[in-house]
Structure 1
Amino acid sequence: MRLSQYFLPVLKETPADATIASHQLMLRAGMIKQNSAGIYSWLPLGLKVLRKIETIVREEQNRAGAVEMLMPTIQSADLWKETGRYDAYGPEMLRIMDRHDREMLFGPTNEDMITDIFRSYVRSYKDLPKLLYHIQWKFRDERRPRFGVMRGREFLMKDTYSFDIDEASARLSYYKMFVAYLNTFARLGIKAIPVKADPGPIGGDLTHEFVILAETGESEVFCHKDLLEMAPPGEVDFSGDLSEHVDKRRALYAATDETHDEEEFKAIPADKQMTARGIEVGHIFYFGDKYTAPMGAKVMGPDGKEHVVQGGSYGIGVSRLVGAIIEASHDENGCIWPKSVAPFGVGIINLKSGDEEADAACESLYSALEAAGCDPLYDDTKDRGGVKFGRMDLIGLPYQVTVGPRGLKNGVVEVKIRATGMKKELSPNAAIVFLQTEFAEV
């Protein structure tokens, strides 16, 4: 993409109402625009990151055996009344009356609707287990929406729902999602710690939050340091028993301030105790028959008797992850994107647009990097060099290639690694080979 043809409305000043880094940088980098409290338009740069995160989340769900579908944003209140949640959910739910005076709502979650879909079609244990998911916009009428996409009212979520014949099978589904989440966050370039969690209004007795460490996190995290060193499970057999991946992490203490047990934490060797701030980016629940029992979701079992199906739900905040990754990876100059979710892979900076030799070198680099799959953004504008450097640092692309007449006379361009600030002079061909190698495994 050529910057002269792109829509990138960066801001020089930080908006006064943006108080945390991700909110400030997403506004300044032209990723989002606020429309009303807690509701944002996603501009091209922000949308590219959002879609890359969504793709990785989807791929890992599919790999775990979940099947994608799509449920509507507007739901009938009748389903929520069946489960007793319509009145219990609270003022965060946006309640709506349609023209026929039917009670509707803008869905904050989908346990009730997916249970209704399941009970409409599944009758036998032979059709279980089932893992169904969708990626959909949701709305919760937060009393004080703040921190940009971190605590907005409209947000994009991935929700998976499991249905099993009994508790033992339901826990196997839970383990699948636990492992899938570890792999998902690793691919996103972040370290997410599974911690004990409070089930809240979803319900259930087995639940974990996945928290990434960031200084501006809303939760205080207490955990065993060894959790940070554990590698993601990677390629696993999702048809097998994955409990070992869960058990070895559950054996190490990890909690937020909501579920913290001070005595348990003190039992950890002092050199292994760690406290930090964290941001919740995922939450998984096994809740048994909380929804299936009141809605009559039953299947015929192998014993010839009807069994109430056991359920679980598994959420990832897709849009929240955009802000959370920035909170975990930025500096005073701007965002620092992991390669897997960066809006573009490489920024090409032409220090003298209009110079015949510089233009030709940039065009050649642009074509070669595009063909190599590095997804370059070519700054072909007439702006000053300082403006170009500042803009590239702000949007946080993993690599920058600077091309100017002086360097070209010596047969080199400058390659900068955004995360470390390290710079190296390479011939244009060597720069292409270097960058192509860096993106080969993304």
Structure 2
Amino acid sequence: MPHLLDSPAEWLRHLFDTAVARAQPDHGLAALLPPPPRGRTLVIGAGKAAASMALAVDRLWPSDAPLSGLVVTRYGHCPPGARGGRVEVIEAGHPVPDDAGLQAARRIVGATGGLSADDLVLCLMSGGGSALLAWPAEGVTLQDKRAVNQALLHSGATIAEINCVRKHLSAVKGGRLGARCAPARMVTLLISDVPGDDPAVIASGPTVPDPTSCADALDILARYRIEVPQAVHAALHSGRLETPKPGDPRFDGHQVHLLATPQQALEAAAAAARQAGVAAYLLSDAIEGESRVVGQVHAALARQVARHGQPFARPCVMLSGGETTVTVAGPAGRGGRATEFLLGAALTLQGEPNVWMLAADTDGIDGVEDNAGALLTPQSWAQAAQQGLKAQDFLDRHDAYGYFERLGGLLYTGPTYTNVNDFRAVLVL
């Protein structure tokens, strides 16, 4: 572990790496895998961690027991060794669905044909699965889904709201894929990227019943003023796009297990900090809201600790997770919610001494950029001033990437092959 006083930034990076390591799918997986069935075992799945989950299952599954299937992950998120195994890996577009995701969804559904009560289906789902399983419901085009998805991502809607709409415009999400697997036994293994760890929200719940309704989806579209084609609106209004609901007998005996959660990742980072003699506090694993505002709140708390020793004594590190949002009203620059969080914090701290902050997405990609997130140091504000960079100008055009790129503060990790969403660490010395 890097020494804290030698390099606070590297020390924070170590906490992030520790959190990501805890979120890898091999933690506790062996104990959750059922014994091989009398029939065949089919592996299906989707998400940024789907390929690494499939690789872990393949390694643990008995070599003399049949195993086959396919999963879809984001382009570039297939770990070494995942190809060539018993489970095929397909790559597709994220966060906006593409034709490869459509073809992958059709192939996954096709693989569920002919299942019997003697068969077992292992469903591997993680964040990102909503966009990667891109088969629209009847009467909805892929272009319709892409347009609605893009509008939702820019609207400021929460992930639960976004996924409620996605479910009802899909041929496979909201429990529809799971219903197709009956009467086979189903075991769904999840890596959570959503506040609250609700299986019905993770990847839009393809294999679990959906408690939301078409009416809920319409309310969300109206709340965020998102227009959909008249035919889609009519299908939602009529209830024709309704999803399978809790109590549906096709899900009897279905087991659902969480392999990794944001809370577990944060706890691992906190344990690493305490081992280094630094007090660690978990603020929440489920923070939502506008990224810049959440950044300002974290910064105000850090400033209170730095100046007054309240509510925590320093040195300490404060950790949080969840999924914030970025509402884009017009043309935008570059940057995801982690870098925008830090840019909001920078405006509040304005070079506050003894405060370092790291914010990153645990999948290694902040939004659609090539960085995982960024680092904010006590020197960042002065460095920006020397270059004539005004944080508010960059924030106004949602160009947090450009701001931190100029400062050399971007954090690059590459794909991590997992996803438990946002990781934020605030160090006060």
Q: Same fold (TM over 0.5)?
A: no
Q: Please state which structure has a larger fraction of its residues in strand.
A: 1
Instruction: Tell me the TM-score normalized by structure 1.
Output: 0.24
Query: Whose radius of gyration is greater, 1 or 2?
Result: 1
